[in-house]
Chains A and B, each alone.
Chain A
């Protein structure tokens, strides 16, 4: 594999780009693997990479029913941050942010991670107090966080709607400067290429359609490309987790599949150099500008449970209203595209990286609509769990039995209703 370097870019620039190899091999499935990861999104590929790199496991496959990053990995609004509050979550996401900070070097692939800052607008004194508590807690965990007053905010982002007569006047912002955005496809491709380089077999167009069990163990996976024997299996299938769980005959999960939309406008000249979040009184909206110039934004779930990767119109209106209420200058900007992904919404809004009732099956799921930022860390801890057959302390409570123990890791305090989490 040709490494990306300034030298190689110049050399290939002068030789008609003929010197590059395939980024990863198009593998035929083998009869047998030590570990098979189901799902070729950012989580599955990161898991395979860290299994090979951190744990020296050699015989690994990632099986993906479509193409790499065709699921939520390629559909999200690419916001990366670590402003979480609950124990376990905040260490986990801070670890992920640290991995992101070095990811382009780690993978020798430009994932275009841009730490442009994440600015959550605040609209009342009590919201400022709540944010201060959350952000102080983050600082105790070794993360960065600050509260901006109105004066500073106006200097940094002058074209927000600062009208004092607005329904929710802006009073300040909670800011994480190290947060930002990354290029979603690049992260997927970067992990795939780096995993392939360490010997991982990446098998696309390979759908798991059945699971062969011998009592408490999985023997192998029935796939659209033949039977694969496996010593260990990891599910990393986001919105489709329940279907695999059913194939394994394991009953019900604390997860519902809901769809979330994302939107992009026509490209504009540089307008917004931060991620801005507007969330008050029923509004929920987040926006950033991509390197191509399009404004990328999203809002709430489509409100009802769904496996369709297809969005509805009321949410289009909803986000458009939010957009023009905080950035009135967008009034005449045209929407270019909108699309939707199937999210694995969990009962408390937090994830599961855990063992399962089957001895050699491991689960990574329940990412709601915040699993992009989690990708590197989820891969890291899921690989550690699979290799060592025990959870690290950071994910000790992120198992399927936490509700039985009376533990809810509920950042929003929304209660056991998947559609209310974020």
Chain B
């Protein structure tokens, strides 16, 4: 079991969360060239090692989080709220 330190709820089992996916993707502007959208939707770095990813605390506070986790050891380096305004309020 991976334990995730939710900034809102404290440390919880990963089974309370759903895994979102690659948290480093920046979605392009709506009128951006199609190849930018192709890359954002379909192409992945698929990092072996430390990656930024999103998790949804679906059976808890229902907030989206950004987690830095190693994809080989599963060790978590950091957790913060995904939304920038919550990051400011929580200072994480």
Contact = CB atoms under 8 A, between A and B. Distances in A.
Contacts of B2: 304, 312
Nearest to A403: B42
Contacts, number: 72
Contacts of B74: 306, 308
A20 interface: no
Contacts of B19: 303-305, 419
Given A303-B18, A312-B1, A403-B38, A254 B48 contact: no
A214 interface: no
Contacts of A256: 21-22, 44, 46
B32 interface: no
B21 A254 contact: no
A252 interface: yes
A118 B38 CA distance: 37
B1 A313 contact: yes
Interface size range on B against A: 20 to 34
Nearest to A416: B41
Interface string A402-416: 011000000000001
A255 B42 CA distance: 8
A6 to B, nearest CB: 48
A242 B21 contact: no
A419 B17 CA distance: 14
B72 A254 contact: no
A243 interface: yes
Given A242-B46, A257-B48, A306 B71 contact: yes
A304 B72 contact: no
B5 interface: no
A304 B53 contact: yes
B37 to A, nearest CB: 10
B39 interface: yes
A268 interface: no
Contacts of B1: 312-314
Interface in B57-87: 69, 71-74
B45 interface: yes
A60 B22 CA distance: 38
B38 A419 contact: no
Contacts of A304: 2, 14, 19, 53, 69
A252 B73 contact: no
B3 to A, nearest CB: 12
Interface in B23-60: 35, 38-39, 41-46, 48, 51, 53
Most chain-B Cβ atoms within 10 A of its Cβ — which of A304, A403, A417, A418?
A304
Nearest to B73: A308
Contacts of A314: 1, 13-15
A308 B22 CA distance: 17
B28 to A, nearest CB: 15
Contact of A243 (B22, B41, B43, B48): B48
Contacts of A254: 42-44
A188 interface: no
Contacts of A418: 44
A252 B43 contact: yes
A307 interface: yes
Most chain-A Cβ atoms within 10 A of its Cβ — which of B38, B46, B69?
B46
Interface in A243-260: 243, 251-257
Nearest to B1: A313
Interface in A296-315: 303-308, 312-314
A347 interface: yes
A404 B45 contact: no
B39 A252 contact: yes
A418 B14 CA distance: 19
Contacts of A252: 39, 43-46
The list of the 7 closest CB pairs from A to B, nearest first, reads A252-B43, A242-B46, A304-B19, A314-B15, A403-B42, A254-B42, A307-B48
Interface of A: 242-243, 251-257, 303-308, 312-314, 347, 403-404, 416-419
Given A253-B43, A257-B46, A419-B21, 19 more contacts: A242-B45, A242-B48, A243-B48, A252-B39, A252-B43, A254-B43, A254-B44, A256-B22, A257-B48, A303-B14, A304-B69, A305-B51, A305-B71, A306-B72, A308-B72, A308-B73, A312-B14, A416-B41, A417-B21
